[in-house]
Structure 1
Amino acid sequence: MGVWARLAGRFGSRGRRLRKVARKRFGWRELRPGQLEAMEQVLGGRDVLLVMPTGGGKSAVYQVPALLLDGPTIVVSPLIALQRDQVASLLKAGAGGAVAVNSTSPVAAGLDQVTAGRAEFVFLSPEQLAKPEVVAQLATAKPSLIAVDEAHCVSSWGHDFRPDYLRLGKAIELLGHPPVVALTATAAPNVREEIVRSLGLRRPKEIVRGFDRPNIHLAVRRFAKDGDKRRALIEHAATREGLGLVYVASRREAEEYAGAIAERGRRAEPYHAGMRSAERTRVHELFSAGAVDTVVATSAFGMGIDRHDVRYVLHAGPPESPDAYYQEIGRAGRDGGAASAVLFYRPEDLGLRRFLTGGRVDSGLLLRVATLVREHGGTVPAGELRALLDIGASRLTALVNLLERVNALTVTASGDLRYVPGGPSPERAAAEAVRLDETRHRVDESRIDMMRGYAETTGCRRRFLLGYFGEPYQGGCGHCDACRDERRIEPGAGPFPVHAKVQHVRWGRGVVLSREHDRIVVLFESVGYKTLALAAVDGVLTMI
């Protein structure tokens, strides 16, 4: 009998024990829809993929059952600030020891606390869990649970793809594959499939709670001139009550907007990746303490924000995708109170977003990496390959990830590189990797097109946004600037219902995500998101 079955027999109802821990350790008298179901699955030893809106209480899903399991819980978290907040909240709640293992803390000391049994929770970045020595030491502690936060980062289809997340599946196996709970606030159906595949989840229970945040009013303000847009945003931020966030595209904009809002008498601070670590920490702490009115930030600020009373989120331009937009506006109104999300939009802003999606992969460098590893005939230390090619670690990682995905290279437990026996030739591997990279860029550009659609739609903005995630929404929401009394739309009515699988003569396989009057949005495997007029798809699009 397994440990989870013994626990169930010893203590009775899982739900009763989970509620008791939630109440006594954390002071939570009620658990939200989806939380208890996920906790019970975890406590029963099953892998779980949980998709829950921002502010829905995803952290509780691993924190509560962890205190009923023998052995530490490993939490993979991408941001150091988020790790610090989670450790502090767990220590404050008296929920057992908690440590963070990252580049700003002594790694050996943190791991020693875990192996000595003095820490119930250990928070690591995916980069740390990719290190063989870290995995080996954690394995000796026999972890009972692994939580992967921001799990959409593992998906190349996701809007926030992070290559280091691709190593997590291997690390999970080396740790003995205890129950795994993958957590995300934003994941379309194809992203969920890739999360399951990449992490190696076994028969996971997939729990998806609605994406809708009805307390957030959605609006777009359109401008022809950048100066007019800038003045309007500053006026909006300077005259609003409560705590707010302003998202911008560049470090320069963060500094300039924060300065202009501060001149209007608001306590405003910039936040971006170019600031010193101590300065970023200072701003984060001011925000957490409510000692600042407005933070003007790039996308570097956000994941793990522990404030429930953000009243507004403004965007000085469209982000790179509806995924990113949904995640960022979801930081407003977590307390259930009225909140607003306003996009300040110029069509020309989309050109900057296309530029920021980045350049294409160097096909010649891909070929050199594949050739050198194959000709070596064994394992090649990554450091030696970096020195030979005179490139940085992040660039080599990106190249290796592409070659891994076309089954040309593999990364050993020690971090060395090896050519896959019987794998494709270096020439073929490089060509396939380039095609993979091109597909990725087409998908990225299609997401930008969908942001244009959101900004320029004349229909309900909430319906547009939820439809992007494949969640049908009938009629208008009555809580956005574009909403009006619209006729109800039955998502399953007519040809090509929502979630139908389709085949396009040019773009191949896809799935219908949403339907609005005379149009459908389809996510294609090869080109990403496309909006199609129903009058123009006869003979071009078929059900499969």
Structure 2
Amino acid sequence: MLETAPPQALTALHDTFGFPAFRGVQEQVVARVLDGRSTLAVMPTGAGKSLTYQLPAVMLEGTCVVVSPLIALMHDQLRSATANGIRAATLTSADSDREVTIERFRNGELDLLYVAPERASQSHFRDLLSRARVSLFAIDEAHCVSEWGHDFRPDYRLLRPLLDSFPQVPRLALTATADAHTRADILAQLGIPDDGLIVAGFDRPNIRYAIRPRDSLQRQLKSLLDEHSGPGIIYAPTRARVEQLAEQLSAGGRRVLPYHAGLDPAVRARNQAAFVASEDMVMVATVAFGMGIDKPDVRFVAHAGIPKSIEAYYQETGRAGRDGDPSVAVMLWGAEDFARARQRLSEVEEHRRASERQRLDALAALVETAQCRRAILLRHFGEDPPQTCGNCDNCLEPAGVTDLTQLARKLLSAVFRTGQSFGLGHLEKVLTGQSDDRVLQRGHDQLSVFGIVGSEEAPLLKPIARALQARGSLVPTEHGGLALGGNAREILKGEAAVEIVVPPAKSKGDRRRKQREGSAPNPIGDPLFDALRDLRRELAQSQGVPPYVIFHDATLREMASVRPSSLSELGRISGVGGRKLDAYGDAFLGVIRQH
């Protein structure tokens, strides 16, 4: 039976957040929390996880203590909560008003108190909580508590004594990314009963997924920036590549900034603040950037290499389109990405090596598939989705699958017969019969594999080598050569087939269609909508907050469409809560009346 929240919860939902109804499983989660029952809620990014503890925090007597992994994330959520009239504060090493916050907490003047797990696990923090009334413990990014999670944080495993010290206080754990194994571990580590699990589903239908081989990274990324004018994040694998891409892409006239842990902290903070406040900026970053960003209007996320796992890919791409508007996730991958990842497996603790190899194999299957990307993602998290989604590259432009087992056997045979120490360039020359000095000096023109690949097969050598490296059938040597690995011997013996995906040919209309598919549905050329955005930008700048903290684009679209003429009519627009109506209502009505 579905949980239903009491009527006063709907009233508080509208008065505080301006929403006429709950979305998805929000009501089930809120109902359990208000009833004092502990819960693990697995909800996709953009589904409104923070509302499931912020709303009870307003309704319950006492303070909701929120454990969150990053200071930037806490401060971002603090801004949004405060804008909605919620009494909130953070207690972190970056705060200069800690004594004031502690006093407010003791006096019962806070609805929300955000802390990091490192502080929450300390005995002195437990003592502080014992001197006031705690209404709820909310553990955000709860997958960090599990060794099976992709963002394991040891301090999260130290939270249990704190929670057990307040047995009468319900616990709400929240995450967007947890497979069945991780979910079970979170329940056990945080002492939440099995019947407290609510899984909303993992689908983000507004995100269009596209994965393609990396051939000219700068050109491919520049094309992406040309197609999407809104804010975007580009994830690069190294600090050096972050700096390089930020510089190269800035030459196109778009504001592009770097972010990685090696930057001066002040520069890093300044770049992050600029991105959060911007309506069109692009951030090139390592994965250190993102978890602390609650920016709803990111229109694209691009990977300039492979992520760590499908879980990491899901979480990182989930930073696009949190506002529900159409967004794009593009991954550009190369064989060397998988080669490096498989090399790093030897550095993983032995008891985790098998599970990490499984994660990498699952990622390779996602990258190489000709099937629906979304279906593979959702099946990975235990769902049973339709065979096609209509909003990924393979559904929009179906790729063909070609059996290249014979060519794979020729390439693997050349690797073996040349001594498993040469790179693809040399192997291509041997296989296609090119007698350069190096081939002749090594006597490789005398091998049985010399010249056995004709002109029709030759262009497929790079794609087949890329596929074999992704699968681990070819592995890099210490000096940049290729050696047999994985199931290479089974392929050579004819015991395993090799099929690869052949992308469809591009047409001239592709770019125009992609632009339409990935664009937010904002009215183009509507002077009222543009004027409302201008006002939002001015208010945001004057108050030192990002524009989305004032109102989301969806709220402005509804204003431009409905054209309310009074405060009561404006208050019925989704996203206009009581605090925002008082603060901004007259200004926005003034702009509407002018049009």
In the alignment, the residues of structure 2 paired with residue 20 and residue 357 of structure 1 have an alpha-carbon distance, to the nearest angstrom, of 53
The residue identity in structure 1 corresponding to 2:220 is A
Superposition pairs for residues 471-490 of structure 1, below 5 Å?
471-483=383-395
Q: CA deviation at 1:310?
A: 1.6
Q: What secondary structure, in the 3-state scheme, does the structure 1 residue paired with 2:299 have?
A: strand
Could you list the runs of 5+ residues in structure 2 that have no partner in the other structure?
A: 399-494, 496-595
Superposition pairs for residues 382-531 of structure 1, below 5 Å?
437-483=349-395
The one of 250, 264, 289 aligned to 1:301: 289
The residue identity in structure 2 corresponding to 1:222 is P
Task: Give yes or no for contact 1:15–1:36 (8 Å, CA) kept in 2.
Answer: no
The one of 215, 228, 240 aligned to 2:228: 240
In the alignment, the residues of structure 2 paired with residue 291 and residue 270 of structure 1 have an alpha-carbon distance, to the nearest angstrom, of 17
Q: Does 1:126 align with 2:114?
A: no
Task: Give yes or no for contact 2:91–2:114 (8 Å, CA) kept in 1.
Answer: yes
In the alignment, the residues of structure 1 paired with residue 332 and residue 174 of structure 2 have an alpha-carbon distance, to the nearest angstrom, of 30
Q: CA deviation at 1:14?
A: 4.2
For residue 106 of structure 2, what is the aligned residue in structure 1? Answer: 115
Q: CA deviation at 1:345?
A: 0.8
Superposition pairs for residues 238-317 of structure 1, below 5 Å?
238-290=226-278, 292-317=280-305
The residue identity in structure 2 corresponding to 1:119 is L
For residue 25 of structure 2, what is the aligned residue in structure 1? Answer: 34
Q: What secondary structure, in the 3-state scheme, does the structure 2 residue paired with 1:45 have?
A: coil
In the alignment, the residues of structure 2 paired with residue 353 and residue 484 of structure 1 have an alpha-carbon distance, to the nearest angstrom, of 30
Percent identity, please: 41
**Using a 3 Å threshold, how does the CA distance of structure 1 residues 276 and 30 change in structure 2: closer, same or farther?**
farther
Task: Give yes or no for contact 1:320–1:448 (8 Å, CA) kept in 2.
Answer: yes
Task: Give yes or no for contact 1:269–1:292 (8 Å, CA) kept in 2.
Answer: no
Q: What secondary structure, in the 3-state scheme, does the structure 1 residue paired with 2:211 have?
A: strand
The residue identity in structure 1 corresponding to 2:122 is K
In the alignment of these two chains, the number of paired residues is 395
Task: Give yes or no for contact 1:49–1:182 (8 Å, CA) kept in 2.
Answer: yes
In the alignment, the residues of structure 2 paired with residue 51 and residue 243 of structure 1 have an alpha-carbon distance, to the nearest angstrom, of 27
For residue 156 of structure 2, what is the aligned residue in structure 1? Answer: 165
Task: Give yes or no for contact 1:287–1:295 (8 Å, CA) kept in 2.
Answer: yes
For residue 52 of structure 1, what is the aligned residue in structure 2? Answer: 43
Q: CA deviation at 1:281?
A: 2.3
Task: Give yes or no for contact 2:305–2:334 (8 Å, CA) kept in 1.
Answer: yes
The one of 194, 209, 221 aligned to 1:218: 209
Task: Give yes or no for contact 1:248–1:254 (8 Å, CA) kept in 2.
Answer: yes
The one of 94, 103, 126 aligned to 2:85: 94
In the alignment, the residues of structure 2 paired with residue 26 and residue 149 of structure 1 have an alpha-carbon distance, to the nearest angstrom, of 20
Task: Give yes or no for contact 1:251–1:274 (8 Å, CA) kept in 2.
Answer: yes
Q: What secondary structure, in the 3-state scheme, does the structure 2 residue paired with 1:22 have?
A: helix
Greater CA drift, 267-276 or 320-329: 267-276
In the alignment, the residues of structure 2 paired with residue 112 and residue 218 of structure 1 have an alpha-carbon distance, to the nearest angstrom, of 48
Larger Rg: 2
Task: Give yes or no for contact 1:234–1:260 (8 Å, CA) kept in 2.
Answer: no
The one of 41, 49, 58 aligned to 1:67: 58
Task: Give yes or no for contact 2:231–2:279 (8 Å, CA) kept in 1.
Answer: no
Deviations 1:222-256 (A, max 9, x none): 13x5xx23432233235532111111112222111
For residue 359 of structure 1, what is the aligned residue in structure 2? Answer: 347
Task: Give yes or no for contact 2:140–2:173 (8 Å, CA) kept in 1.
Answer: yes
Q: CA deviation at 1:38?
A: 0.5
For residue 184 of structure 1, what is the aligned residue in structure 2? Answer: 175
Q: CA deviation at 1:355?
A: 5.2
Deviations 1:435-469 (A, max 9, x none): xx422232123212211111111211111111111
**Using a 3 Å threshold, how does the CA distance of structure 1 residues 219 and 175 change in structure 2: closer, same or farther?**
same
Deviations 1:269-301 (A, max 9, x none): 111222233322222222222255211111111
Q: What secondary structure, in the 3-state scheme, does the structure 1 residue paired with 2:137 have?
A: strand
The one of 318, 333, 337 aligned to 1:349: 337
For residue 461 of structure 2, what is the aligned residue in structure 1? Answer: none
The one of 19, 44, 49 aligned to 2:10: 19
Q: What secondary structure, in the 3-state scheme, does the structure 2 residue paired with 1:144 have?
A: strand
Q: Does 1:140 align with 2:52?
A: no
Could you list the runs of 5+ residues in structure 1 that have no partner in the other structure?
A: 1-12, 361-436, 487-535, 537-544
Deviations 1:40-85 (A, max 9, x none): 1000000011111101100000000111211111000001111001
**Using a 3 Å threshold, how does the CA distance of structure 1 residues 250 and 142 change in structure 2: closer, same or farther?**
same
Task: Give yes or no for contact 1:460–1:477 (8 Å, CA) kept in 2.
Answer: yes
The residue identity in structure 2 corresponding to 1:321 is S
More strand by share: 1
